[in-house]
Structures are given as C-alpha cells and as structure tokens.
Amino acid sequence: MLRLTGKLLRKHGWRLDRAAHNYIYFVYYYPYVRTLYHLLRVLAARFAWLRPLRTIIRMAFDRYHAKFLSGSDARKILTLDEDVRIVGERNRDIVPYRYAHSVIFNNPGYIAVMDCPCKKTLGATVDTLSSCICVGETTARFWVERLGKKYNARRISREEALSIVNRFRGMGYVTQAFFKVATGGSTGVICNCHPDTCVSLKATVFARRFDPGLSMAADAGYAVHRDSARCKHCGACAAVCHFGAIRFVDGEWSLDRERCAGCGLCEEHCTGNAISLIIDPGKPLPLDIDLIRGRQAG
Ligand code: SF4
Ligand code: SF4
C-alpha cells in the first residue's frame, strides 16, 4: 500500500503541496467534491458581485477542468493497448486551459470504476453511481486497493468499461475526461455525466454568474452534420441534447454551432442515421488518440 501511495505521489516531484492535494482529493473524494459544490453554490448565490472572487474562481478553473469526449473518442481510450504519453504546450489546442492538459495513460489495460462523488452529492439514483472510470494503473490501482471499500472501487475489464460508457450514453449521459493539476496535470478519470448530477457541469453554471466566459468543460471539437434526405424530423436529436443546440424553427431543423459541445449524443440517438460528426475548425481539437498521435508523429 505504501509503495502504491508513494508511486501516486512521486509524479509531483518537489511539489509536496500538489502531492498532498492529490492524496486528499482521492482519499476524501466524496466530502471534497460535496464541500466544493456547496461552497461554489453559496458563493454564486450570494457573492457574485464580489470582484476578487472572480479572480479566485478563474484560478480554480485553470487548475481543474474537463473535456467532452465523443463516444468514439472515449472508446479509443478504453481500448488502448499501449502506454500513451503526450505532454506539452501543444495539447492546449485540445484542452484549452492554462495548466493540466497532459494525456498520459500508463498501463491503460488496468481500468477501475468507483461510485461517482458528484452523483452521490447530488442525489442520483443508486443504479447510476458506479460510473467514474479510471484508466491507467497508477491511479486505478490506488482506487482499487485504497478506496475499494470506501467508494466501491473495483477493477474492471475493458469490455465492462465499454459497456458502462455505452449504457450511460444510451441513457443520454455525456462522457467527460477530467484534468486536474493536483492529480499530475493529466487525464485518466473519465466519467459519465448528466447536467443534473454532475458537479463540474453545475460549477460552470455557478461560475458564469461571476464571469460569463468561464467554462469548466472544453468542447469535444466536433460539429454536427445532418443529412436532410435521411432526416425523419422525429426530434430525438433535440430531445437528447443538453445544450439546446438543436431546435426546430418553423418545422425546420437548425443547429446552433456555438452551443453545440460536440458530445455526439445526437448522432448516437438519431433514428434516421442522419447525423455525423465532423471536426469543427472553430473549436478545440478532439481528444482523439489517433489524431493526436498522428500529429505528434508528423
Ligand atoms: S448538438 Fe447537442 S447532442 Fe449533438 S453533439 Fe452538439 S451538444 Fe451534443
Ligand atoms: S434524430 Fe435524426 S432523424 Fe430525428 S430529427 Fe434528428 S436528425 Fe432527423
């Protein structure tokens, strides 16, 4: 256990503060997330006028954030068969925040799942709790061996991880990869999120009371293309979109590209096979492992 904890913390080098933060974050995952949620909620409700708070919230948003993943991009991460280490400033055009944008998966075949602290905080139903997935041995093993009993953490196969993501996406949950300075600046945690039960998505809503430009989640990087000949005007795409990006105006299908997060749910729920995702040059690049490996090689 000590060896495992040491391995988790060593990635922070001389930054003992980050190592301690990393340890506290996971060992007290649920109270940590719950406390931050209620703190931000109260601050947004009562102190949105207080200018110094904006600076503090911006600093926090620079250190912790998420990236929407399409179903395809999530599945590529869950089926990685070799280590991935893509670090550097260039990743900021994928995860466009100041810090924490490294893409590192060590031994990605080691995958764990545990109860999601956001869903526990926000009263989600019991059948949706087991949804927070960790890819990569160092952190995933720490979850299993240190947090197994506490947060129902357990090792799962790739097939089970895929089936969790597919099940949640089928229910209309988006997929997000989380990046945090205190966990080494890299992703590894991938969760299945709903705006009603995701603290990160709610944090963006609260933070926009201080600064409308703030977002804790970077767009996936896709735009939606609809084949009008195939479209049956059933409305399933608009119904599944959490961001109000698809609407029917005078009976005509329309997309608000700015609102679209590129999550891909509309594509997967389309009853006419009429929707496809295309890279949106106006958005950050997708966290598509093949694409970022290719540009690294090029
Ligand atoms: S239109 Fe909505 S559901 Fe479709 S990709 Fe964009 S955000 Fe996701
Ligand atoms: S779900 Fe597909 S078929 Fe239905 S309205 Fe949307 S694009 Fe058209």
Q: By alpha-carbon position, which residue is closest to atom 2 of ligand 1?
A: 241
Would you list the domain boundaries of the chain? 2-218, 222-279
Burial (CB count <10 Å: 0-12, 13-18, 19+), residue 121: buried
∠ CA 162-166-170, rounded to 5°: 175
Q: By alpha-carbon position, which residue is closest to atom 5 of ligand 2?
A: 233
CA 226 to ligand 1 center in whole angstroms: 12
Q: What is the CATH number of domain 222-279?
A: 3.30.70.20
Nearest ligand to the CA of 242 is: 1
Average pLDDT of the residues in 128-147: 92
Please write the tens of the pLDDT for every residue from 211-239.
Answer: 888 888 899 999 999 999 999 999 999 99
User: Are the C-beta atoms of residues 243 and 219 closer than 8 Å to each other?
Assistant: no
User: Are the C-beta atoms of residues 137 and 4 closer than 8 Å to each other?
Assistant: no
| Choice among 70-74, 76-80, 199-203, 281-285 with the minimum mean pLDDT | 199-203
Q: At 48, which amino acid appears?
A: A
pLDDT at 135 over 70: yes
**What's the chain's average pLDDT?**
89
The pLDDT-based confidence of 1 (bands split at 50, 70, 90) is low
Nearest ligand to the CA of 286 is: 1
Q: By alpha-carbon position, which residue is closest to atom 8 of ligand 1?
A: 263
> What residue spans of the chain are helical by DSSP H?
2-10, 16-27, 29-46, 51-63, 71-78, 117-121, 137-151, 158-170, 199-207, 236-240, 265-269, 289-297
What is the distance between the alpha carbons of residues 238 and 197, in angstroms, rounded to a whole number?
20
pLDDT at 88 over 90: no
Please write the tens of the pLDDT for every residue from 142-193.
Answer: 899 988 888 999 999 999 999 999 999 999 999 999 987 766 667 779 999 9
Average pLDDT of the residues in 91-118: 89
